[in-house]
Amino acid sequence: MSGHLINDEWTSIQIEGPLPMSVAGALMTTIGTMWPDARIMSNSGSGLHMLIPKGQAAQSVDEEFIEQIRKGAELAPEQDGDFLGFQDGWIAFAPPEELCLHLGSVAHAIMQGYPQEITNHLEWTVRTGNEPDDPQYVLSISRSKEQTPLAMRKEAEAEVERLGHALDIMQGHEIENRRLRALLEEHGIDPS
C-alpha cells in the first residue's frame, strides 16, 4: 500500500491487488464514509486506487459501523472472490472458485437443452424476491471455447472499423475514377 500527495488538492492511496472482495469492499466503504468527497479512480488497473481531498478531516465513525465493516471482511475464503481492480470503468474481479464451478455446471446443464449449432447465447431476467419492486438482473450464458463473448465483440468491432476504412478508400477511388472518366470523355477519349 502506498499513499502520496499528487497535487495541492488530493492525496493518492494505492493498494496493490488482487485483494479479497470483502477487504476491497471494506476499504472502499470505510474510506468513502470517513472522507465523503473521496474518489475511486476507475482506470487504475490492478488493485484499488482512491483519491482523498487534501486537508479534509476524516469523519468519525461509530462502533456499530466498525463492527459492520469487520463482519463484512470476515467472509470465509470459499465465499470471497478477488477484487482485481478497475479497467475502462468496469470493476474487475474473480468470483470464488466454488461459485465458478457451480455456475459452470448450471450453465452447462442449461445449454445442453439447445443444439450447439443453433444457440450460442441465452439470457433471461431473474428477480431477487417476489415483490414487484425487488431488484431484477439479466443473466447471460454464452458458449465459448477460446474467446469470451466480449473478446469476440471487440474483434468484430475492430473488423467493422477496418472494413469501414477500406470502404472509405474504395469510395474515394470510385470518385476519382468517375472524375478521370469525365476528364477522358471531355477530351474525346473513350474510357473503356
Q: 159 pLDDT exceeds 90?
A: yes
Task: Give residue 124's region: left, alpha or beta (phi > 0; psi -120 to 50).
Answer: beta
- Concatenated DSSP letters for 53-107? ETTPPPPP--HHHHHHHHHHTT--GGG--EEEEEETTEEEEE--HHHHHHHHHHH
| pLDDT tens digit sequence for 71-112 | 766 665 556 677 666 666 566 667 777 777 888 888 888 888
Under 8 Å CB-to-CB from 153, ≥6 apart: which residues?
none
DSSP type of residue 163: H
- H or E stretch covering 4: strand 2-5
Could you give the 3-state DSSP secondary structure of residue 170?
helix
List pLDDT tens digits, range 34-56: 888 888 776 555 677 888 888 77
Lowest mean pLDDT among 7-11, 115-119, 176-180: 115-119
Of residues 65, 75, 71, 81, the one with CA closest to residue 32: 65
The pTM score is 0.43
Specify the amino acid at residue 179.
R
